[in-house]
Structure 1
């Protein structure tokens, strides 16, 4: 059975989880984006034919932009989601689950030309199905993943946890680490929970089970429970 969960351990010792997208959702998202690009080019082509030679020139420029910069534009300005990926709730991220960068997005999309070889994305499909994390060649070169967007959210308070406002100011990274710990604690063994909780003991001044309960109550506060 394929493991579709990608795990990254933060410098704070908290495990982050994301559900990888398989080939079928990615293919559906690609077909959706291709349909959008094709529709835009058809409409633009009709208008260009009416305008004449100048219109044809603009159409050629638009064709280049739609083919090579459409995915980069949306991935960078729409939080890693083209319209097709947004519809199917997919998002492009770096392998460490940080937002995709300009360089990574450009590399992964330029190499779509290699993924297409020898025709009909044969290399890309083979790479998707044979790699452990469903990465096409462009993803491997850029160090990117496509994950389920819903698996990377962190904004729902936990109904079974107490809530406690922080007594001190936490940095944004510390808050993120506490939130991830709170949401993922059920997937961790009690010993692992205490181990992670003890990492923040110099800040929280609490260890063991008490430290775990305290971190969960803080995490629930940061998630919006009041």
Structure 2
């Protein structure tokens, strides 16, 4: 049984993104914040248009429509991809692939809030969120969207452990930086993409038994470049 709620998406560049879907509580609190904001705007609009007769009534209806249907769409299509309530809770709306939400998807997921509301008090939407690991409501399923936590990430993480290996020739400073940078992204790339990039460095990789992956050897070179050595490491006399 899997206990985590991570959603892994792979970009066209071969980068594996680990997204953390927001659960029922976080999304409910975000909704309540947005509801309070919309209610304040509606009360102010009602006061302003109160003495404007028929024109005021028309403006109030237009404002109500905009607050109810356009408010979430406009904010979700912004750079932050989130309404004020979601921003307070550290959430944003993205596509299943991890890419920014598209206009069509934003419209679909919000128009289908009507279906999520059935039979009453968002019963269908809440049931869907509770039954799915990715906490998708019906609108998210139809639009192919995901509400996730917006934790900050580092493009270059810790270099995975490997047996230090010396390169076949001395590496320039730019080459050393490229190798370490590649190793720092190892946990964010798919194994296939990682191996594809490692093969580019084949001319400087030390010899290995048949069938050995370039990834393991280049990780060893990265460890060697960072100055890590052990008694069994054969540096072949090369120096970075």
- State the TM-score, normalized to the length of structure 2: 0.71
String of CA shifts for 1:30-74, please: whole Å, max 9, x gaps. 010011001100110011103332122111101101101100000
Task: Give yes or no for the alignment of 1:66 onto 2:67.
Answer: yes
2:216 to 199, 209, 214: 209
Q: Which residue of 2 aligns with 1:182?
A: 184
Matches within 5 A, 1:139-178: 139-150=140-151, 153-155=152-154, 158=157
* 1:156–1:14 distance in 2 versus 1, CA, 3 Å: closer
Where does structure 1 lack aligned partners over 5 or more consecutive residues?
Answer: 171-177, 217-226
SS in structure 1 at match of 2:133 = coil
**d(CA) in 1 for partners of 2:221 and 2:69?**
49
* Structure 2 unmatched ranges of 5 or more: 161-171, 206-213, 224-240
2-side partners of 1:72 and 1:113: how far apart?
A: 15
Distance 1:13 1:159, change over 3 A: closer
**2:88 is aligned with 1:87:** yes
Structure number with bigger Rg:
2
Counterparts in 2 of 1:36 and 1:184: CA distance versus 1, 3 Å: farther
What is the aligned residue count? Answer: 197
Residues 139-187 of structure 1 deviation map (CA, whole Å, 9 limit, x = unaligned): 000011111011xx434654779xx9756xx9xxxxxxx78x73562x9
- Distance apart, 1:15 and its partner CA: 2.1
Q: Do the aligned partners of residues 100 and 8 (structure 1) sit closer, same or farther apart at CA in structure 2, a change above 3 Å counting?
A: same
Q: CA 1:214–1:89 in 2, change beyond 3 Å: closer, same or farther?
A: farther
Q: CA RMSD in A?
A: 3.0
Measure, in 1, the Cα distance between the counterparts of 2:153 and 2:30.
Answer: 24
Deviation for aligned residue 1:78: 3.7
CA displacement, residues 64-105 of structure 1 (integer Å, 9 cap, x when unaligned)? 011011000000014311000000000101111111100000
Secondary structure at the aligned position of 2:148 is classed as: strand
TM-score when normalising by structure 1: 0.75
Residue of structure 2 equivalent to 1:6: 7
Q: Is the 8 A contact 2:186 2:194 kept in 1?
A: no
- Pick closer, same or farther for the CA change 1:159–1:27 going to 2, 3 Å: same
Question: Separation in 1 of the partners of 2:56 and 2:221?
Answer: 65
Q: Give SS of 1:53's match.
A: helix
Corresponding residue for residue 30 of structure 2 = 29
Q: How does 1:122-141 map to 2 (within 5 A)?
A: 122-141=123-142
